[in-house]
Amino acid sequence: MRSAWLFLAGLAAGGCAGRLDPAPLQPGVQGDSLLRPGDALRITVWRQPEFSGDFVVNPDSTIGHPLLQAVKVGGVAPAVARARLRDFLAGYEQNPRFVVEPLYPVVTAGEVRQPGLVSLPRGTTLSEAIGRAGGPTERGRLDRVTLVRGGKSYVLNLMGDDQRVATMPIRSGDQLVVGRRSDFNLWRDALNPIASLTAVVVAIVSVTRR
Looking at the fold, whether 79 and 160 belong to one and the same domain comes out as: no
Looking at the fold, whether 108 and 163 belong to one and the same domain comes out as: yes
DSSP-assigned states of every residue in 70-100: GSB-TTS-HHHHHHHHHHHHTTT-SS--EEE
Looking at the fold, whether 123 and 164 belong to one and the same domain comes out as: yes
Looking at the fold, whether 132 and 201 belong to one and the same domain comes out as: yes
Looking at the fold, whether 46 and 17 belong to one and the same domain comes out as: no
Q: Is the pLDDT assigned to residue 68 strictly greater than 60?
A: yes
Looking at the fold, whether 24 and 92 belong to one and the same domain comes out as: no
Looking at the fold, whether 54 and 136 belong to one and the same domain comes out as: no
State the amino acid at position 33 in one-letter form.
S
**Count of C-beta atoms within a 10 Å radius of residue 109:** 26
Looking at the fold, whether 68 and 114 belong to one and the same domain comes out as: no
Q: Mean pLDDT over residues 179-201, rounded? A: 60
73: containing domain: 40-101
Domains of the chain: total: 2
Q: Where among 101, 134, 149 does a domain terminate?
A: 101
97: domain CATH number is 3.30.1950.10
pLDDT at 179: 97
143: domain CATH number is 3.10.560.10
Confidence band, pLDDT 50/70/90 cuts, at residue 194: low
Q: Where among 75, 101, 127 does a domain terminate?
A: 101
Residue, of 188 and 162, whose pLDDT is higher: 162
Q: What percent of the chain has pLDDT over 70?
A: 71
Q: Where among 86, 101, 116 does a domain terminate?
A: 101
Cα separation, 18 vs 29, in Å, equals: 23
Instruction: List pLDDT tens digits, range 36-49.
Output: 999 999 999 999 99
Looking at the fold, whether 20 and 87 belong to one and the same domain comes out as: no
Looking at the fold, whether 198 and 152 belong to one and the same domain comes out as: yes
Instruction: List pLDDT tens digits, range 110-165.
Output: 999 999 999 999 999 999 999 999 999 999 999 999 999 989 999 999 999 988 99
pTM score: 0.72
Looking at the fold, whether 95 and 8 belong to one and the same domain comes out as: no
Looking at the fold, whether 152 and 87 belong to one and the same domain comes out as: no
